[in-house]
Structure 1
Amino acid sequence: MASQIHIDSLLQKCNSLIHMKQLQAHLITTGKFQFHPSRTKLLELFSISPSGDLSFAGKLFRQIQNPSTNDYNAVLRGLAQSSEPTQAILWYRSMLRYLQKIDALTCSFALKGCARALAFSEATQLHSQLLRFGFDADVLLVTTLLDVYAKTGYLDDATKVFDEMPQRDIASWNAMISGLAQGSRPNEALDLFNRMKEEGWKPNEVTVLGALSACSQLGALKQGEIVHGYVVDEKLDVNVIVCNAVIDMYAKCGFVDKAYSVFSSMSCRKSLITWNTMIMAFAMNGDGYKALDLLDGMFLDGTCPDAVSYLAALCACNHAGLVDEGVRLFDSMKVSGVKLNVKHYGSVVDLLGRAGRLKEAYDIINSMPVSPDVVFWQSLLGASKTYGNVEMAETASRKLVEMGSNSCGDFVLLSNVYAAQQRWKDVGRVREAMVNSDVRKVPGFSYTEIDCKMHKFINADQSHPNSKEIYAKLDEIKFRIKAYGYIAETNLVLHDIGDEDKENVLNYHSEKLAVAYGLISTVDGTPIQVIKNLRICVDCHAFMKIISKIYNREIIVRDRARFHRFKDGVCSCRDYW
């Protein structure tokens, strides 16, 4: 017994690879290695300790004459969390091949390897095996299984496993909520979060992170405020990661003042991510000077900005039209030792392009120390479309073709350039190329939140239960806005059809349907919030400005790139986006 206590004491004190090897040598020279129960703990130390050596653990394992399941599991655990998690799957298969007894821990570690390797097929095989072994009542193991399905994108399988669990714990709920949120099913994540509370479970930090992520994706402010209220009530805001998620949620819902209020009142120490999240929040909302002030504030706080901080500040200059400030910031980065990456160059190219300085943007692309990717040429193509520069658009388009880009956006932008010049033969040629390349335009869709429920619209959508009322409202809007000088931007429609038909195409864009529904579903004066998957078009932008004035509504639109706040006929972007 004394010897066992002595060995256990030495194991607890092992904090370096040298100490581990010394203890291993002691066990071998005393003849206790083959029999001593502490050898499994030693294997674990080599396998998972920060100061361990996984390859040495493998060598040590091979010295064991009759390895136990625990010995196998010790190495399997290390492989599952290593940089090569597929090795854990191979190790598990070797256990089966050598008829080694499998236990619940074995399956759990193997599943964790599947999760990290995104190995769905292997996970399904493990699923059938754990059923055969009778481990399906193990809550921890089944939670790991549904986590694998969620992380590999098989959310229906994850949901089926979750629904069939005879018992659940907080980790089960968290894995499912996070999986749905990260798997682009945020509505379901919020539904499950609410169901969890209804069933008497108490959400923890991990739970609210999943719920806040879902709210951020949807721009679901009301539900986000409910989650934030819970965070405050349960004092979860002492966790900086939770605070960062709350800031991000308010920012992505378009309420940067609320985000900054959380940022300013944090009781815990702000992390680098906190600062970066807040700077990007100002950037998305077009508050360029505030973003730059916050970058300066980092130095005063003793927090050193990183490459992400500078990128966020450059994005802020980009969205606010602070061209000279952005160029100065970029130049200062070159001399301050910040390692410039392709995203920094891309942001400056976009900044110059949006300002119409196409030649400067083109020169930066050609002078970069690294090869430009397709995003650079897409930015230049977009700027060429904005400023009607056909020659530069064709140059950018040729580069994209040479790089093998097959994005529908590339074709659409070039088509728009030609359409604006009424060069319908060229439009037809581009459209024919799209067909030949089997390129399809990404359908536009928009969300709006009414009474804590998200409503989704696609272009020309008639599936909504209130479709008749929505279209009647659009007809009313169409009549009223013409009195305010609205003229449809029919040159945006790529089809060679009459102007009246083009107006009808434009009139039923998804964000217009969402706003019309907001107008008929909320009381006068209530802000209307819309989340859109694509960039807002010029016509919809002009449309929203006039509606905000006619109906005395603030309209907040989050598109793929930033926020637009329309109020009294003016947009926060100052028509620069």
Structure 2
Amino acid sequence: MTSQFQFQLDSLFQRCHSLIHIKQLQAHLITTGKFHFHPSRTKLLELCAISPAADLSFAAQIFRRIQNPSTNDWNAVLRGLAMSPQPTQAISWYRSVSRSPQKVDALTCSFALKGCARALTFSEATQIHSQVLRFGFDADTLLVTTLLDVYAKTGDLDAAQKVFDEMPKRDIASWNAMISGLAQGSRPNEAIALFKRMKEEGWRPNDVTVLGALSACSQLGALKQGEIVHGYIVDEKLDMNVIVCNAVIDMYSKCGFVDKAYSVFQNMSCTKSLITWNTMIMAFAMNGDGYKALDLLDQMALDGVHPDAVSYLAALCACNHAGLVEEGVRLFDLMKGSVVKPNMKHYGSVVDLLGRAGRIKEAYDTINSMPMLPDVVLWQSLLGASKTYGNVEMAEMASRKLVEMGSNSCGDFVLLSNVYAARQRWHDVKRVREAMITKDVRKVPGFSYTEIDCKIHKFINGDQSHPNWKEIYAKMDEIKFRIKAYGYTAKTDLVLHDIGEEDKDNALNYHSEKLAVAYGLISTVNGTPIQVIKNLRICGDCHTVIKIISNIYNREIIVRDRARFHRFKGGVCSCRDYW
């Protein structure tokens, strides 16, 4: 092919912005006899498969006209399939090319693995992995990075770690894939450790790296680690990226420091996105600052940013956590008349808002007024409210609805059991627990984290596995003595088992959040705030005890439970005992 014709061809490729243009180019290649010239044919397939004007069905038609497709031809279509809404087709295409006379190359395997990653198909990835080893492609850093990304996304973090550890050569993408995989795969401690190791080995984390590290810090509520990552972001000027700024705001809010989050929000040098506003509104919501969240929603509109469904949901959550019932109902009614119509989550938030306020009949009526069928979450919210206010009839009705919908959540059974136990209907408690055993439903164990000297410590209820458990238990005995002198009486009615009062008292005394607070007291100097992250909702007794501890020991204690933050200081909580 002459250089002049190649120049003309490149110019034609650059002007292909629609399927019509691609078809005209195909006709041109056929009439000039250049369709069978491999580079131009492959380029045509790539245009069909991955360009903005992509049409995979037309790419397949072109491919079928090729008598002896090259590996590059196969790869062009395979790449498009891996990026398509049906990535499993990439796996089928890979099997076809494996059976063809053409040999697969590293790119073939890489595109197939990308399809596996998007389709979350673990077994197919392992098969391709064995072929990668057999073909000797395991020295290809890009390919092996794609492989470890597949393992991480499909949940086999051990396999991903093994691939990472055995890589003869790593690049920044390899580190990023492993850190993100650990952060998203519920191993945030390891993600933070790998981020540290990466810097120690002389690598410069980029915006993708810090997003993974910030996600891990957010999960753990690891403020000190998060501040280190934020410091690096500022030094490297990565805060010019709005996505990174959003992640920093989210990290500070999930560590319980909404003022720090708001400072980042106010001082951003890049343009705020809709996600930025939504993240900040949700930060105020989680921390119980309902009025600030509503003010920010108004400010958002004044700044010309139109609220979306997430904005309204965050604001409704803010009303929910702050007990702003009338404001929440008013916002919901306003939303009904706006462009953004309420969806299932908005209805769920309003049902929860009314239920928490004891307006259970209104919550029930809201469910019945919905234009769509209610989901499991709405009935669970009603069941939770019924438990809080001792409405046995409504609890039984909500429980029946959940059974009809096929829900098998342990929370459904536990809530109903708790309703009966609060009324000392032990026969019904036994019946519910027998149903749990029959259906193999297991209660999620409670656990808590606290960060001390940049190290995360985990506790479970009644934990004696911590190296300092004897000192922790001694501190708990001291706390128990001092809070009783303060007038505390254990809320043994919250222990929903048919056991003696002394056993109930002991069961309450060693809840995971209390152990975490006790460890914080013995491990930090006076005046240092203590942070605790709990996987479940904080119980009423722990809430009362931690309020008293904050006053007796003159400590600020920040507890993030499943739904929100509780900031204890001077014997009061930021939630105003409404959560």
Same fold, judged at TM 0.5 (above)? yes
Conserved in 1, the CA contact under 8 Å of 2:220 and 2:449? yes
CA distances 1:376-408 after superposition (whole Å, capped 9, x unpaired): 111111111111111211111121122222211
Structure 2: 5+ residue runs without aligned partners? none
Tell me, yes or no, if the aligned pair for 1:458 and 1:510 is still in contact at 8 Å: yes
- CA-to-partner distance for each residue in 1:189-238, whole Å, 9 max, x for gaps? 00000000000000000000000000000000000000000000000000
2:447 paired residue number: 445
Which residue does 1:378 correspond to in 2?
A: 380
Residue 477 of structure 2 is matched in structure 1 by 475
User: Which of 338, 360, 363 does residue 361 from structure 1 map onto?
Assistant: 363
Counterpart amino acid of residue 418 in structure 1:
Y
Q: Which residue is 2:578 aligned to?
A: 576
Residue 395 of structure 1: aligned partner? 397
SS in 1 for 2:566: strand
Q: How does 1:101-140 map to 2 (within 5 A)?
A: 101-140=103-142
Runs of 4+ that moved beyond 2 A: none
Partner of 1:178: 180
Q: Tell me the amino acid that sits aligned with residue 48 of structure 2.
A: F
SS for the counterpart of 2:282 is helix
Q: Note the alpha carbon deviations across 1:469-524, whole angstroms, 9 max, x for none.
A: 00111111111111222111111212211111001001111000100100000011
187-196 or 32-41, which deviates more = 32-41
Q: What does 1:280-295 align with in structure 2 at a 5 Å threshold?
A: 280-295=282-297
**Who is 2:417 aligned against?**
415
Q: Does 1:201 align with 2:194?
A: no
* 2:284 partner amino acid: F
CA distance in 1, matches of 2:412, 2:114: 40
1:561 alignment partner AA = A
**Corresponding residue number in structure 2 for 1:14:** 16
* Cα distance between partner residues in 2 of 1:453 and 1:97: 52
Of 240-249 and 417-426, more deviation after overlay is shown by 417-426
CA contact (8 A) 1:564 1:571 kept: yes
What percentage of aligned pairs have identical amino acids?
85
Contact 2:34 2:40 in 1 (8 A): no
Check the 8 A contact 1:419/1:492 in 2, yes or no.
no
In 1, Cα distance between the equivalents of 2:238 and 2:124?
37
Counterpart selection for 2:335 from 333, 340, 346 = 333
CA contact (8 A) 1:444 1:533 kept: yes
8 Å contact from structure 2 (residues 422, 496) kept in 1:
no
**1:451-530 matched pairs, under 5 angstroms:** 451-530=453-532
Residue 146 of structure 2 aligns to a residue whose secondary structure is helix
User: What SS does structure 1 have at the residue aligned with 2:230?
Assistant: helix
- Give the structure 2 partner of residue 51 of structure 1: 53
Which residues of 2 match residues 87-236 of structure 1 at below 5 A? 87-236=89-238
Partner letter of residue 85 of structure 1?
A: P
Match of 2:449, SS? strand
Tell me which amino acid in the other structure corresponds to 2:518.
A
Does the Cα contact within 8 Å between 2:125 and 2:147 map onto a contact in 1? yes
Tell me how far apart the structure 1 counterparts of residues 127 and 364 of structure 2 sit (CA, whole Å): 53
Q: 2:282 touches 2:314 (CA, 8 Å); kept in 1?
A: yes
Q: Displacement of 1:14 after TM fit? A: 1.3
Give the deviation of 1:37 after TM superposition: 2.5
Q: In the aligned structure 2, how far is the partner of 1:181 from the partner of 1:319?
A: 28
Structure 1 distance, partners of 2:497, 2:385, is 22
Gaps of 5+ in 1: none
Post-superposition shift, 1:297? 0.8
- Matches of 1:491 and 1:436 in 2, distance apart? 27
Deviation sequence 1:21-50 (CA, Å, 0-9, x none): 101001111222123521111110010011
Deviations 1:418-477 (A, max 9, x none): 222222222222222222222111000000000000000011010000000001111111
Distance in 2 between residues matched to 1:485 and 1:410, nearest whole Å? 35
What value does the CA root-mean-square deviation take over the aligned residues?
A: 0.9
Cα deviation digits, residues 261-297 of structure 1 (max 9, x gap): 0000000000000000000000000000000000001
Partners of 1:320 and 1:287 lie apart in 2 by 7
Give the conservation status (yes or no) of the 8 Å contact 2:240–2:270.
Answer: yes
* Counterpart pick for 1:26 among 22, 25, 28: 28
Cα distance in 2 between the residues matched to 1:96 and 1:393:
58
One-letter amino acid of the structure 2 residue matched with residue 52 of structure 1: A
Cα distance in structure 2, aligned partners of 1:377 and 1:85? 36
SS of the equivalent of 1:422 reads coil
CA contact (8 A) 2:38 2:70 kept: no
Worse overlay, 512-521 or 432-441: 432-441
- Tell me whether 1:79 sits opposite 2:81 in the alignment: yes
Report which stretch shifted further, 367-376 or 264-273. 367-376
For the 8 Å contact 1:147–1:158, the answer to whether it is kept is yes
* 8 Å Cα contact 1:450/1:518 also seen in 2: yes
Amino acid at match of 1:182: Q
Q: Distance in 1 between matches of 2:374 and 2:28?
A: 58
Q: Is the 8 A contact 1:17 1:51 kept in 2?
A: yes
Give the distance between the partners of 1:403 and 1:489, measured in 2 at CA. 34
Distance 2:45 2:54 in 1: 9
Higher mean alpha-carbon deviation, 150-159 vs 16-25, is at: 16-25
Shift in Å, 1:337: 2.2
Q: Is the 8 A contact 1:34 1:65 kept in 2?
A: no
Q: How far apart in 2 are the matches of 1:339 and 1:99? A: 55
2:42 to 28, 40, 43: 40
TM-score (ref. length: structure 2):
0.99
Q: Structure 2 CA distance, aligned partners of 1:99 and 1:555?
A: 67
In structure 2, C-alpha distance between the alignment counterparts of 1:132 and 1:432, rounded to whole Å? 53
Per-residue deviation, 1:19: 1.1
**d(CA) in 2 for partners of 1:299 and 1:58?**
47
Tell me how far 1:119 sits from its aligned partner: 1.1
Distance 2:514 2:243 in 1: 36
Partner of 2:547: helix, strand, or coil? helix
What do residues 347-404 of structure 1 show as CA deviations (whole Å, max 9, x unaligned)? Answer: 0000000000000001111111111111111111111111111121111112112222
Aligned amino acid, residue 521 of structure 2: L
For 1:556, give the aligned amino acid: I
Matched letter for residue 149 of structure 2: D
